[in-house]
Amino acid sequence: MTVVERREVALVDLLDRLLAGGVVITGDVTLRIADVDLVRIDLNALISSVNARVPAPWGERT
| 43 inside domain | yes
Query: What is the reported pTM?
Result: 0.43
**Mean pLDDT of the 12-29 span:** 82
34 pLDDT exceeds 60?
Answer: yes
**Mean pLDDT of the 25-54 span:** 85
| 36 inside domain | yes
* Rounded percentage of the chain residues whose pLDDT exceeds 70: 69
Q: Are 28 and 40 in contact, with CB atoms under 8 Å apart?
A: yes
Residue 50 CA: distances (Å) to CA of 1, 3, 27, 61: 39, 34, 24, 14
Question: Which domain, by its residues, includes 26?
Answer: 3-47
Q: How many domains does the chain have?
A: 1
| 13 inside domain | yes
Q: Residue 28 — φ and ψ, nearest 5°?
A: -130, 135
Q: Are 46 and 22 in contact, with CB atoms under 8 Å apart?
A: yes
| 62 inside domain | no
| 52 inside domain | no
